[in-house]
Amino acid sequence: MKSPNFIREENTVNDFQPEDRVIYVPTHAIEEYSKHGKHPNVEYGFVKSVNEYFVFVNYFRHNMLQYTAEATNPKDLIKQYNKDHELPKIMKCYELVSENLTHLGGPMGSEYTTTNFRKYFNDSKKAKLFAEKDFGKKIKWLKTGKGWTSGDLSWVMYYINEIKIKNEK
């Protein structure tokens, strides 16, 4: 049995930097995680940034890397990985971007587009299905260098970008 002290170190924000792989182990889960290497409240993620007080982490939830990083107390994070602390084997995800085209077609210099939403998926097919449901019709997808695009659909355009996640140890 591992001691809870094996897991809980007195980490500070200075112990973390962007792209570090981390495991979030809340205080109430330390003992069970120490004994069994798992707990339902343990989460895996990547450090996005740090400030004076918090480490901002993008967590994997429902097999997807979340877009919004969450402020996390550095004392609740484990940075080091070994065979007992592996991240899920997700090596890439897909970003679906919906672009609003309704402000195009005006006088030169007055045209612009805006982003309706960004959503992340672990499968490009799921991203395409979500876009088609949002649009209300089947979309003919065109392959691009970064992923796929719907092309101009009059008032909206969708992009699906493949995002590769570093899996360094």
pLDDT in tens, 143-162: 998 899 999 999 999 999 98
pLDDT reading at 7 higher than 70: no
Question: Which residues have a Cβ under 8 Å from the Cβ of 18 and sit 6 or more positions away?
Answer: 47, 48, 49, 50
- Residue 149: its H or E element: strand 147-149
What is the pTM assigned to this prediction?
Answer: 0.50
Res 92 pLDDT > 90: no
Cα torsion 142, 143, 145, 150 to 10°: value is 30
pLDDT of residue 135: 96
What's residue 165's pLDDT? 65
Question: Is the confidence at residue 142, as pLDDT, over 60?
Answer: yes
